[in-house]
Structure 1
Amino acid sequence: MWRVAFFLVALMALPLQAATVNTLYQAQVPLPDSDRQTERTARVAALQQVLVKVSGQRDIVSNDVIRKALENSSSYVSQLGYGNEQGQPVLEISFDSEKIRTLLTQASATFWSEQRPTVLVWLVEEANRDRAIVWDQSGNSLQASLNLAAAHRGVPVLLPIGDFQDVTAISVPDLWGGFSQPIANASTRYQPDAVLIARVQRRSDSMQLAWQLYPSSPAAMLDGNSASLEGRNSGDSVAAITAMMDQVADNLASRYAVQLGGATEGGFAIDVANVRRVEDFFQLEKLLKDLSSVASVNASHLQGDKVRFAIQLLSNEQVFARELSMEPRIQAQPAASLVRDVAFDNQSAEDTTPAKQEGMIVPTSREGSASEPLSQLDVSGTQAATSSIGLYYWNPNA
């Protein structure tokens, strides 16, 4: 029972919103001339960018397997083109996602999926003894530096819009003093997964940057369940903000990235209710298989509208719960619901005669099955059912 409790507590403490980053496998690097060696150097730099984004590791290039792969960077390219950025020629490259994932697995590195926590950034600038909040679409150069640094690490960021609701909910002293309650209240409307407060002091030739990251939701900040990470950086605006975003990304990656290199020993199972049609089953199965923490998924039991899935992981259950919490179509049910379903566990353990409610063999094709009730699946075979540690509700229309 301790395993169930740990899993549910971990899940309920996790963020419920996330953003999909569609540019993880793309990079844009300067191309000062058309020399063949220059292009090769640019291609290597682009692959390094992508590997850092996808792995979440700044030092990924120190891995021996990765270093060797960089010598053959062209084999990972899926598309290559030439462009122009602010009057300068650039090389635009897309890399094969499957090959990148395989490479990271071979290197026993980490993998950070496209579903990533959204970070709300409260940015306050002090210049000439005046302090002001940098709002979205303000045209402030700090925002451009922030967006570029965040993009290089694959971290989705947003700045508050600065409308009437914002300016009445928060003040510069609140942000400069790092007062968590008003910051959390003002942040709630944006439903971020993390909140970053950055305070910039301009100097004649440099800037000082002090920042504070709450790596959880505003609700966790209000409950006192979110400890903050603090840091200081200095230099020109690009260098200071890049250093801050590197540290922020490192922290988030340590929470969300999955260790690759082999499945964990043993497994567990989850029960999912409201799986009523065959198409629901296929969509749910695909969702589970696509999670970066999952090694394999097998349906082991069927009863009514409830399906039990046996799960083998590439990581641990907490990482699995964190990934699952970002998917709106599947929702965790409270522990009381799990207790009410003890009969489902008991029947799984006691029944040994093959029967339709005991086990299932899933068809290998969706053809002609989209509108069929789930009960029409071939369930003539029985698989051993592992004890479930969580109950979920499937909502395909979410």
Structure 2
Amino acid sequence: MFRYWIVFSLLFSWNSAFAVEVSDLYTAKVALNSQTQRDQSSALKAALKAVLVKIAGDEKVLSNAFIKNEVQHYSKYLTQFNYLTDNGVNNLVASFDENKINQLFFQENLPLWGKLRPLVLFWVVTEDGLKRRIISETDESPLHDEISALATEKGLPVILPLMDLTDTQNIQIPDLWGRFIDPIKLASQRYTPESVVIIRVSKNAIFTTDEEPTTNCDLLCKQSAISIDWHIVTTQSDKVETGNQYKGVDELVLMKTVMSDITTHISQRYSLTTETDHDLIIDVANVDSLAQYVDVTQFLDKLSVISSFKLIKAQGNNRRFQLTLMGSADTLFASLKLNNKLKQYVDPLLGQNADDIPVFFWGTE
């Protein structure tokens, strides 16, 4: 239901990049073999690992020595759990304490990805022999279901195209397969994503003698393979960034690796660096009432990238704030572009000097 709500909402949000506040970041659902104490304990550990990966945006968080140890003591962070049967599969759903998890990240100086996350549009093209097709939002296929499940698992807001008349008029399969930026950006505009990902899935790949598939395969199947590669472009750039390419015999297994790559790539732009605080001074130039000042301060207080702030100057309608950031100024600017509340002003003739104080306007369209 959540994915279809995104489709409905974004069709009425054409003017700016779309952000989604992701819920249930501190909850995970994992398969459960049985309700014995041993299997329950294993499932709860797996659920905590899943939550940690969602918060970090990167599976490397699980290689941290202290994190490994804390997973064994999952009960310190557990708030509740229950059992759920879904399509005949027994699952355990566990929730963990948000403050304790966040404190764990701060303690270990680990990057932390907040709840406000960018909407990512996936253009997925599959190739089987001479036939190519685009996976749409309403597609009924294991690959579609896997992408949807992985997006939820990673805490990444993903939308697939509707592939209605508008889409089919704006873009053709060769545009996507060839990664031609102009038609891709044109067709993507209606979805107002922050980033666009092009994924190509080919069942026509062949292993060479020095290649090994990423999934187990006997000698009889090493002659042919499935190949998946991905590329990404942000709405602020015409540059197409090339990701990795993987070969194997199971497209769903390969897609898990691809999704991990993409999530890590995107999270690195928005994650908070808990290791070092940075100070930044900004001006908000159109604060003309006490009520508006309160709105601005409440907004700054809710931004997870800002650990603290204070008003240091008030002159006319201008308010100057000193911010203490958990990370870089670029992380703050990237986060601000997701919500459209505080817009930076840059003189088109003079540009923005690195030594200048950034100027923002509140609540402008």
Task: Please report the TM-score for the alignment, with normalisation by the length of structure 2.
Answer: 0.83
> What is the aligned partner in structure 2 of residue 304 from structure 1?
316
Once residues 270 and 56 of structure 2 are traced to their aligned partners in structure 1, the CA distance between those partners, rounded to angstroms, is 10
The whole-number CA distance in structure 1 between the counterparts of 2:133 and 2:349 is 49
1:77 has 2:81 as partner = no
Superposition deviation, residue 143 in structure 1: 0.9
Q: Which residue identity lines up with residue 106 of structure 1 in the other structure?
A: Q
- C-alpha contact (below 8 Å) 2:29/2:92 kept by paired residues: yes
Query: Shift in Å at residue 388 of structure 1?
Result: 6.8
Secondary structure in 2 matching 1:187: helix
Cα offset for 1:338? Answer: 9.9
Which residue does 1:260 correspond to in 2?
A: 274
**Is the 1:207–1:240 contact (alpha carbons within 8 Å) kept by the matching residues of 2?**
no
The equivalent residue for 2:212 is none
Contact 1:271 1:388 in 2 (8 A): no
1:114 pairs with 2:115: yes
2:300 is matched with which residue: 273, 288, 311? 288
Shift of the 337–290 alpha-carbon distance from structure 1 to 2, 3 Å rule, reads farther
Structure 2 residue aligned with 1:394: 362
Cα distance change, pair 337–281 in 1 and its aligned pair in 2 (3 A): farther
Q: For 1:92 and 1:269, locate their aligned partners in 2 and report how far apart those are by CA, in whole Å.
A: 43
Does the 8 Å CA contact 2:58/2:260 hold for their aligned counterparts?
no
> Within 5 A, what are the aligned runs for 1:1-398?
16-202=17-203, 208-217=226-235, 220-221=237-238, 226-233=239-246, 234-264=248-278, 267-335=279-347, 389-395=357-363
After superposing the two structures, state which structure 1 stretch, 275-284 or 139-148, moved more.
Answer: 275-284
Cα offset for 1:251? 1.0
Q: Secondary structure at the match of 2:277?
A: coil
Cα 1:89–1:96 change in 2 (3 A) is: same
TM-score normalised to the size of structure 1?
Answer: 0.77
SS where residue 358 of structure 2 aligns? strand
Structure 2 distance, partners of 1:42, 1:104, is 22
**Residues 60/50 of structure 1: CA separation in 2 closer, same or farther (3 Å cut):** same
Residues 103 and 183 of structure 1, relative CA distance in 2, 3 Å threshold? same
Residue 237 of structure 1: how far off its partner (Å): 2.2
Cα gap change, 1:336/1:230 in structure 2, threshold over 3 Å: closer, same or farther? closer
Pairwise CA distance, 1:39: 1.0
1:78 CA drift (Å): 2.5
**1:339-385 deviation line (CA, Å, top 9, x unaligned):** 9xxxxxxxxxxxxxxxxxxxxxxxxxxxxxxxxxxxxxxxxxxxxxx
Cα drift, residue 29 of structure 1: 0.6
The answer as to whether partners of 2:120 and 2:195 remain within 8 angstroms in 1 is yes
**Change in CA separation of 1:299 and 1:330 when aligned onto 2, cut-off 3 Å:** same
Q: Is the 8 A contact 1:275 1:281 kept in 2?
A: yes
Q: CA RMSD in A?
A: 2.4
Give the Å deviation of 1:337.
11
Paired amino acid for 1:231: N
Name structure 1 gaps, 5 residues minimum.
1-14, 340-386
CA distance in 1: counterparts of 2:314 and 2:17, whole angstroms = 28
**Structure with greater Cα Rg:** 1
Counterpart position of 2:214: none
Q: Is the 8 A contact 1:111 1:292 kept in 2?
A: no
* Alignment check: 8 A CA contact 1:198 1:209 kept: no
Tell me how far apart the structure 1 counterparts of residues 23 and 225 of structure 2 sit (CA, whole Å).
32
Match in the other structure for 1:378: none
SS at match of 1:29: strand
Identity level (%) = 28
> Per-residue CA shift, 1:173-209, capped at 9, x if unaligned?
1112222221121111111111111122237988623
Q: Structure 2, unaligned stretches of length 5 or more?
A: 1-15, 205-219
Tell me the residue number matched to 1:381. Answer: none
The whole-number CA distance in structure 1 between the counterparts of 2:36 and 2:22 is 32
The count of aligned residue pairs is: 329
**Residue type of the partner of 2:182?**
Q
Equivalent-residue separation in structure 1 for 2:69 and 2:303 (angstroms):
28
